[in-house]
Amino acid sequence: MAWDWQVFCKITTDEAQAPGCWAKGADVTYLEWMVHAWGWTLAVAAGAWVIAVTVGALVGTARTLPNSPWAVRLANAWVELFRNIPILVQLFIWYFVVPKMFPAMQQVPGFLLVVFGLGFFTSARIAEQVRAGIQALPKGQRYAGMAMGFTTAQTYRYVILPMAFRIILPPLTSESMNLLKNSSVAFAVSIAELTMFAMQMGEETSRPVEGYLAVTILYVISAFAVNRVFAYIEKKLRIPGFIVAGGTGGGH
């Protein structure tokens, strides 16, 4: 099979080759379209990441609170709800059902709905890791906080969370990479991200292999970049003598 990488220099609306692979005016080449699609993928993933980490940290912490059984129950219910429904179904509900049930949501752009869908889905997984990280700390840490006369909030702020955060960094790394990969599901609700681009370009140009290959490489590069950023953070925050246990297996 012969490669045809020139296909990326084609203008999407006609068969013409754009000089320098970058079309002028309102036209776009497939290369330009792909770069935009990469931007959408990164934007969806970044937006969802902010929501996932914020909500995940709150919910995960709530699950470990002493003397607040209702907060624990509510947080557990949150995790079970968002963890036991496939991401694709959750996206459909955010994109199609929520605007219909709540007319006020019809003004919200589809991109944001997808960000919420992916963010909440991932928040359940991060909450699980935060809970595990907090519970992995020796009980004595909590008692030490109490013995110092700290309130629960202070114990969490000064004793538990700083340590738990470092414990969950390795699983948080792989979950962030998972989030980036899961953003590919947004193709199903017509977000112009990389997977959507790969499918569309494959259909329009009859050169799907080139398109898939380019998109796959962009995903790998993006995931690797996330991995390196987290490795850097982990290194910067490492406390000498405090050995962090790595996460194992599971998840996508």
Partner 1 sequence: MGNLDLSFANWELISKFVLNGFYFSVALTAVATLGGVLFGTLLALMRLSGRQALMIPATIYVNGMRSIPLVMVILWFFLLVPLLTGRPIGAEWSAVITFIAFEAAYFSEIMRAGIQSIPRGQVFAGQALGMTYSQNMRLVVLPQAFRNMLPVLLTQTIILFQDTSLVYAIGAYDLLKGFVTAGKIYGRPEEAYLLAAVVYFVICYSLSYAVKRLQQRIAIVR
Q: Residue numbers of the site for partner 1 (CB under 8 A)?
A: 1, 80-81, 83-90, 92-93, 96-97, 100-103, 177, 181-185, 187-188, 195, 198-199, 202, 208-209, 212, 215-216, 219-220, 223-224, 248-252
Pick between residue 18 and residue 186 the one whose CB is nearest to partner 1.
186
Task: Tell which residue, 238, 239, 215, 235, has the closest CA to residue 227.
Answer: 235
Question: Least Å distance between CB 67 and partner 1?
Answer: 24
| Separation of alpha carbons 75 and 217, rounded Å | 38
Question: In the complex, what is the shortest distance from the CB of residue 34 to partner 1, in angstroms, rounded to a whole number?
Answer: 14
Instruction: Return the structure tokens found at 72.
Output: 């624990």
Q: How far is the CB of 15 from partner 1 (least distance, A)?
A: 22
Orientation angle between helical segments 110-136 and 30-62, nearest 10 degrees: 40
Q: What is the DSSP string of 135-204?
A: HHS-HHHHHHHHHTT--HHHIIIIIIHHHHHHHHHHHHHHHHHHHHHHGGGGGGGT--SHHHHHHHHHHH
Q: Quick one: 148 or 209, whose CB is closer to partner 1?
A: 209
**CB 32 → partner 1: shortest distance, Å?**
21
Q: Which is nearer to partner 1, 73 or 83 (CB)?
A: 83
Nearer to partner 1 by C-beta: 167 or 215?
215
Q: Which is nearer to partner 1, 40 or 156 (CB)?
A: 40
Place of tokens 């020139």: 6
Closest separation in Å from C-beta 248 to partner 1: 5
CB of 223 within 8 A of CB of 43?
Answer: no
